[in-house]
Amino acid sequence: MHRLSRTREEQTRENQAGFRPGRGCIDHIFTLRQILEHRHTFRRPTIVIFLDLKAAFDSVDRKVLWQCLTVKGVPRKYIALIKALYSNSRSRVRAYGELSSELVTTSGVRQGCPLSPFLFNFIIDMLMEVSLTERSDLGIDLLPGNNLMDLEYADDIVLLGEDADKMQSLLNTLSSNLRMFGMRFAPAKCKMLLQDWTTSTPNLVIGSEVIEHVDHFTYLGSCISTNGLIGDEISARIRKARAAFADLHHLWRRRDIRLSTKGRVYCSSVRSVLLYGSETWPIRVEDMKRLTAFDHRCLRSLSHVRWFNKVSNVDVRRRVLGKEGKSIDEAIKLHRLRWLGHVLRMPNHRLPRRALLADIGSGWKRASGGQTKTWHQSMKSLTVKLSQVGRCRLPGWGPRDSRNQWLETIGDMAQNRCQWRRCIQSL
């Protein structure tokens, strides 16, 4: 498995982040948010299509899988071993305490097998390569001559574009090729986002079913909206964190458990749910107030301190989380600064870095009137103190400096993890 993974990692498309070391959901969430924020700033029309496959792992054509492994250069002896693992595979179903007769399975990858995600990535990569061959006219511009057409996390596929006719052509190609691989789309679960779309809503179809148009979509656990705001995401995070807090109500009620122990459980089970994806948030003051209010309410509840006890929120937090316990705004700031350093240390070909450094297209102009504050702008404001070194002022934060010059300046700081850790602690 390890030897196969090393060979496979060199060939895997950068667009695929699922089941790969050093990559996760946050990579694609950040990439998609950065693209939509950047294009929204200049009011560029954007189509985002979220595709869902029906029983993807169970319907892969195994003959096509062996062909994919051969084309990708997997040694024959490894292919033979994998074929032996799948030969003569049978299944039985348990229902009402009884087992059915044996069923011969000739398609799909084995559920629960550590090798299955690895094999499934071969199929998705080959599908996208075949479908996107010689389609350089599709996608959206990140850097001059550098288009991004798709994002994949296992079988979660996102298509990006700005022309409805070309997107429909790509959907037709994908649907046709998908049948060759033994799989098919689930049209009812596929959704379409339109950002800054000024013409009539296009009717994009998969087969004979029209893709539903929505204003927000939950992608990899994070709510993506077309208006560049995270109000819907904050509401969803609070709902899920409230449910996680309620599930542990029996623990919070017990007075024989130390507050410090409850605090550790709270941070690992509730705060982690509340702050999922916070690295990517272009957070506003009103969003922070909502998160802080929820956090304080939970801390007071588990420590049995009521509002009429006249104990400040800071004191309650110190009782539960200790003197080093961070408030919500401090935790979010730390998450975002750590993520910024992580992205700046990435190689140039990585998608999060390319999205962060996305260039302004020719002829693009900012829309008149007020602008929605983006993650890029909020991080620039947050790191402005790093521009002051003694009496000198580093370039990047001035009104006439280029858009990404501040990133180039702190990029050198971020390369050294220890130095970056000291820098963010000073902010």
Q: Which residue ranges make up each domain of the chain?
A: 2-225, 231-325, 342-363+372-425
**Global confidence as pTM:** 0.93
Pairing of strands 191-195, 212-214: parallel
Q: What is the mean pLDDT of residues 337-360?
A: 93
396 with 408: CB under 8 angstroms? yes
Q: Is the pLDDT of residue 6 over 80?
A: no
At residue 42, does pLDDT exceed 70?
yes
pLDDT of residue 106: 85
Tokens at residue 251, please? 């623990």
**What does the pLDDT read at residue 180?**
92
Q: pLDDT tens for residues 218-262?
A: 999 999 998 889 999 999 999 999 999 999 999 999 999 999 999
Tens of pLDDT along 385-426?
888 766 677 888 887 788 889 999 999 889 999 999 998 988
Architecture of domain 2-225: 2-Layer Sandwich (3.30)
What pLDDT score does 367 carry?
77
pLDDT tens for 304-315 read 998 888 899 999
- Are the beta carbons of 31 and 352 closer than 8 angstroms? yes
Report the pLDDT value the prediction gives residue 243, as an integer from 0 to 100. 98
Residue 121: CB atoms within 10 Å: 22
Q: What's the pLDDT score for residue 73?
A: 85
Cβ-based neighbours of 41, under 8 Å, separated by 6 or more = 366, 367, 371, 372, 374
Which pLDDT value is given to residue 317? 94
Q: Is the dihedral of CA 410, 416, 417, 420 positive or negative?
A: negative
pLDDT in tens, 169-223: 999 999 999 999 999 999 999 999 999 998 888 999 998 899 999 999 999 999 9
Contacts of 11 (CB under 8 A, 6+ apart): 72, 73, 125
Contact, 251 vs 257, CB < 8 A?
Answer: yes
Is 114 or 159 the better-scoring residue by pLDDT? 159
Q: What pLDDT score does 394 carry? A: 82
Q: What angle do CA 402, 407, 409 make, to 5 degrees?
A: 90
Please check whether residue 194 is in contact with residue 213, taking contact to mean a CB–CB distance below 8 angstroms.
yes
| Model pLDDT, residue 389 | 66
Plot region of 134 (φ>0 → left; ψ -120 to 50 → alpha; else → beta):
left
